[in-house]
Protein backbone atom coordinates (compact mmCIF):
# COMPACT_ATOMS: atom_id res chain seq x y z
CA UNK A 1 0.00 0.00 0.00
CA UNK A 2 1.20 3.52 -0.78
CA UNK A 3 2.22 5.46 2.29
CA UNK A 4 0.64 8.91 2.79
CA UNK A 5 2.54 12.13 2.28
CA UNK A 6 4.07 14.17 5.07
CA UNK A 7 4.71 17.94 4.95
CA UNK A 8 7.46 19.82 6.79
CA UNK A 9 7.13 23.53 6.12
CA UNK A 10 7.01 23.73 2.29
CA UNK A 11 8.45 20.28 1.60
CA UNK A 12 5.95 17.49 0.79
CA UNK A 13 7.21 13.91 0.46
CA UNK A 14 6.08 10.33 0.99
CA UNK A 15 6.46 9.05 4.54
CA UNK A 16 9.30 6.69 5.30
CA UNK A 17 8.42 3.19 6.52
CA UNK A 18 9.47 4.17 10.04
CA UNK A 19 7.33 7.33 9.99
CA UNK A 20 4.38 5.31 8.68
CA UNK A 21 4.79 2.73 11.44
CA UNK A 22 4.77 5.53 14.03
CA UNK A 23 1.64 7.01 12.45
CA UNK A 24 -0.20 3.68 12.56
CA UNK A 25 0.91 3.18 16.16
CA UNK A 26 -0.70 6.51 17.08
CA UNK A 27 -4.12 5.12 16.09
CA UNK A 28 -4.29 6.70 12.66
CA UNK A 29 -6.32 4.78 10.11
CA UNK A 30 -6.08 4.92 6.29
CA UNK A 31 -8.72 6.54 4.15
CA UNK A 32 -12.32 5.58 4.58
CA UNK A 33 -15.13 6.39 2.21
CA UNK A 34 -15.27 10.19 1.79
CA UNK A 35 -17.84 11.76 4.07
CA UNK A 36 -20.00 14.55 2.67
CA UNK A 37 -23.04 16.53 3.67
CA UNK A 38 -24.89 15.39 0.54
CA UNK B 1 -6.07 60.71 16.95
CA UNK B 2 -8.34 58.04 18.40
CA UNK B 3 -7.36 54.45 17.73
CA UNK B 4 -8.30 51.94 16.44
CA UNK B 5 -9.60 54.31 13.74
CA UNK B 6 -6.74 55.45 11.48
CA UNK B 7 -6.85 58.40 9.07
CA UNK B 8 -5.22 58.57 5.65
CA UNK B 9 -1.67 59.92 5.87
CA UNK B 10 -1.52 59.69 9.65
CA UNK B 11 1.82 59.00 11.37
CA UNK B 12 1.82 55.47 12.85
CA UNK B 13 3.26 55.99 16.32
CA UNK B 14 5.15 53.15 18.01
CA UNK B 15 2.94 53.11 21.09
CA UNK B 16 -0.11 52.73 18.92
CA UNK B 17 1.30 50.06 16.61
CA UNK B 18 2.65 48.10 19.60
CA UNK B 19 -0.88 47.89 20.93
CA UNK B 20 -2.24 46.12 17.86
CA UNK B 21 -3.77 42.93 19.23
CA UNK B 22 -2.80 40.19 16.79
CA UNK B 23 0.35 39.82 14.72
CA UNK B 24 0.60 37.38 11.82
CA UNK B 25 3.74 35.32 12.48
CA UNK B 26 3.57 32.58 9.91
CA UNK B 27 1.41 31.42 7.02
CA UNK B 28 1.80 27.85 5.78
CA UNK B 29 0.00 26.54 2.67
CA UNK B 30 -1.02 22.89 3.06
CA UNK B 31 -0.07 20.46 0.30
CA UNK B 32 -2.19 17.74 -1.27
CA UNK B 33 -2.86 14.41 0.42
CA UNK B 34 -0.72 14.89 3.51
CA UNK B 35 -1.32 13.08 6.79
CA UNK B 36 0.61 15.69 8.76
CA UNK B 37 1.96 19.22 8.40
CA UNK B 38 4.86 20.49 10.50
CA UNK B 39 5.07 24.25 11.02
CA UNK B 40 8.46 25.36 12.34
CA UNK B 41 9.49 28.69 13.89
CA UNK B 42 5.93 29.66 14.80
CA UNK B 43 6.01 30.32 18.55
CA UNK B 44 8.44 33.21 18.72
CA UNK B 45 9.55 34.79 21.98
CA UNK B 46 7.92 38.08 20.98
CA UNK B 47 4.64 36.67 22.32
CA UNK B 48 3.33 34.49 25.15
CA UNK B 49 0.05 33.35 23.62
CA UNK B 50 -0.86 32.35 20.07
CA UNK B 51 -3.80 31.57 17.82
CA UNK B 52 -3.70 28.89 15.13
CA UNK B 53 -6.25 29.23 12.31
CA UNK B 54 -6.63 26.64 9.56
CA UNK B 55 -9.25 27.15 6.86
CA UNK B 56 -10.09 26.52 3.20
CA UNK B 57 -8.81 22.93 3.31
CA UNK B 58 -10.47 19.52 3.17
CA UNK B 59 -10.02 16.04 4.60
CA UNK B 60 -10.48 12.70 2.86
CA UNK B 61 -12.31 11.33 5.89
CA UNK B 62 -14.67 12.84 8.47
CA UNK B 63 -12.23 12.95 11.35
CA UNK B 64 -10.19 15.01 13.76
CA UNK B 65 -7.19 17.29 13.30
CA UNK B 66 -4.70 16.92 16.12
CA UNK B 67 -1.64 18.79 17.32
CA UNK B 68 1.78 17.88 18.65
CA UNK B 69 4.25 20.41 20.03
CA UNK B 70 7.72 19.97 18.58
CA UNK B 71 8.58 16.27 18.52
CA UNK B 72 6.75 15.57 21.77
CA UNK B 73 4.40 12.59 21.33
CA UNK B 74 3.13 12.03 24.88
CA UNK B 75 1.30 13.65 27.80
CA UNK B 76 -1.61 15.29 25.99
CA UNK B 77 -4.82 15.65 28.01
CA UNK B 78 -8.05 17.22 26.79
CA UNK B 79 -11.81 17.11 26.78
CA UNK B 80 -14.63 18.33 24.54
CA UNK B 81 -18.37 18.65 24.54
CA UNK B 82 -20.79 19.28 21.70
CA UNK B 83 -23.84 18.02 19.90
CA UNK B 84 -24.79 15.89 16.93
CA UNK B 85 -26.83 17.97 14.48
CA UNK B 86 -29.43 15.31 13.70
CA UNK B 87 -30.40 14.34 17.22
CA UNK B 88 -29.05 17.02 19.53
CA UNK B 89 -27.46 14.27 21.57
CA UNK B 90 -24.10 14.95 23.20
CA UNK B 91 -20.78 14.45 21.47
CA UNK B 92 -18.44 14.13 24.44
CA UNK B 93 -14.90 12.80 24.42
CA UNK B 94 -11.43 13.13 25.81
CA UNK B 95 -7.72 12.63 25.30
CA UNK B 96 -6.11 11.05 28.35
CA UNK B 97 -2.32 10.99 28.17
CA UNK B 98 -2.33 10.53 24.40
CA UNK B 99 0.31 11.10 21.74
CA UNK B 100 -1.54 14.12 20.26
CA UNK B 101 -4.37 16.48 21.17
CA UNK B 102 -7.58 16.92 19.18
CA UNK B 103 -8.01 20.61 18.30
CA UNK B 104 -10.23 20.60 15.18
CA UNK B 105 -11.46 18.57 12.28
CA UNK B 106 -13.60 18.37 9.22
CA UNK B 107 -14.39 16.35 6.14
CA UNK B 108 -14.40 16.57 2.35
CA UNK B 109 -16.58 19.69 2.48
CA UNK B 110 -14.17 21.66 4.65
CA UNK B 111 -11.77 21.43 7.56
CA UNK B 112 -10.89 23.96 10.20
CA UNK B 113 -8.89 24.73 13.31
CA UNK B 114 -9.40 27.69 15.61
CA UNK B 115 -7.17 27.12 18.61
CA UNK B 116 -5.56 29.32 21.22
CA UNK B 117 -2.21 28.11 22.57
CA UNK B 118 -0.92 29.48 25.88
CA UNK B 119 2.83 29.84 26.54
CA UNK B 120 4.12 26.97 24.35
CA UNK B 121 7.48 28.78 24.16
CA UNK B 122 8.06 28.71 27.93
CA UNK B 123 9.37 25.83 30.04
CA UNK B 124 5.93 25.24 31.52
CA UNK B 125 2.84 23.23 30.65
CA UNK B 126 0.98 24.45 27.54
CA UNK B 127 -2.80 24.90 27.62
CA UNK B 128 -5.16 24.94 24.62
CA UNK B 129 -8.73 26.00 23.89
CA UNK B 130 -10.34 24.93 20.60
CA UNK B 131 -13.45 24.07 18.63
CA UNK B 132 -14.22 21.56 15.92
CA UNK B 133 -16.78 21.33 13.13
CA UNK B 134 -17.49 17.92 11.62
CA UNK B 135 -19.89 16.46 9.08
CA UNK B 136 -22.24 15.25 11.82
CA UNK B 137 -21.48 17.37 14.90
CA UNK B 138 -19.70 20.37 16.41
CA UNK B 139 -17.68 20.62 19.62
CA UNK B 140 -15.78 22.99 21.90
CA UNK B 141 -13.01 21.94 24.22
CA UNK B 142 -9.75 22.53 26.03
CA UNK B 143 -6.62 20.62 26.79
CA UNK B 144 -3.09 20.56 28.08
CA UNK B 145 0.36 19.30 27.17
CA UNK B 146 1.70 18.26 30.56
CA UNK B 147 5.41 18.65 29.87
CA UNK B 148 7.36 21.63 31.18
CA UNK B 149 9.30 22.31 28.00
CA UNK B 150 9.51 25.13 25.43
CA UNK B 151 8.59 24.65 21.76
CA UNK B 152 8.87 26.83 18.69
CA UNK B 153 7.01 24.60 16.24
CA UNK B 154 4.10 22.18 16.00
CA UNK B 155 2.63 19.47 13.78
CA UNK B 156 -0.99 19.08 12.70
CA UNK B 157 -1.97 15.44 12.13
CA UNK B 158 -5.15 13.90 10.75
CA UNK B 159 -6.97 11.36 12.91
CA UNK B 160 -7.65 9.34 9.75
CA UNK B 161 -6.99 9.79 6.05
CA UNK B 162 -5.31 12.90 4.71
CA UNK B 163 -5.75 16.67 4.44
CA UNK B 164 -5.40 18.85 1.36
CA UNK B 165 -5.19 22.54 0.62
CA UNK B 166 -5.97 25.55 2.71
CA UNK B 167 -3.64 27.61 4.86
CA UNK B 168 -2.45 27.32 8.45
CA UNK B 169 -1.85 30.77 9.95
CA UNK B 170 -0.24 31.46 13.31
CA UNK B 171 -0.86 34.76 15.12
CA UNK B 172 0.72 36.13 18.25
CA UNK B 173 -1.32 37.99 20.86
CA UNK B 174 0.22 41.31 21.78
CA UNK B 175 1.51 41.27 25.35
* ipTM of this predicted structure: 0.86
* Residue A33 confidence (pLDDT) above 70: no
Once rounded to an integer, what is the mean pLDDT over residues B86-108?
95
Question: Are residues B160 and A37, on separate chains, in Cβ contact within 8 Å?
Answer: no
pLDDT in tens, B36-94: 999 999 999 999 999 999 999 999 988 999 999 999 999 999 999 999 999 999 999 99
Which candidate from A4, A33, A35 shows the least CB-CB separation from B34? Answer: A4
β-pairing, B126-133 vs B34-39, is unpaired
**Chain A residues whose beta carbon lies within 8 Å of the beta carbon of residue B157:** 23, 26, 28
Tell whether A17 is within 8 A of chain B (Cβ).
no
Task: Flag if B30 and A4 touch (Cβ within 8 Å).
Answer: no
Write the residue in A12, A26, A35 that is nearest to B99 by C-beta: A26
A-B contacts (CB, under 8 Å): 78
Question: What gap in Å lies between CA A29 and CA B158, rounded to an integer?
Answer: 9
State how far the Cα of B117 lies from the Cα of B52, in Å rounded to an integer: 8
Task: Tell me if A5 and B61 make a contact (CB, 8 A cut-off).
Answer: no
- For residues B89 and B84, give the distance between their C-alpha atoms in angstroms, rounded to a whole number: 6
Is there a contact between B160 and A32 if contact means CB atoms under 8 Å apart?
yes
Longest dimension (CA), chain B: 55
B34-39 and A5-8 beta bridge pairing: parallel
Q: From B155, B162, B41, B45, select the one nearest B100 (Cα to Cα).
A: B155
Pick from B147, B61, B149, B143: nearest CA to B95: B143
Cβ-based contacts of B62 with chain A (< 8 Å): 35
pLDDT tens, B129-159? 999 999 899 999 999 999 999 999 999 999 9
Confidence tier at A32 by pLDDT (50, 70, 90): low
Note the pTM of the prediction, 2 decimals: 0.91
pLDDT band at B13 (very low <50, low <70, confident <90, very high): confident
Minimum distance, in Å, between the CA of residue A37 and any CA atom of chain B: 6
Amino acid sequence: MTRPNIQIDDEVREMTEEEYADLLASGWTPDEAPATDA
Amino acid sequence: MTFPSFSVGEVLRAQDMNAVGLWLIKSQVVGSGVSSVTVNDAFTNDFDNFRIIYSDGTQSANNSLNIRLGASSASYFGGWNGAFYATGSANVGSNNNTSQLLIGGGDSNGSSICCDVMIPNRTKYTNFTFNGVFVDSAIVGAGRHAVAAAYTGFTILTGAGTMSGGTIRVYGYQK
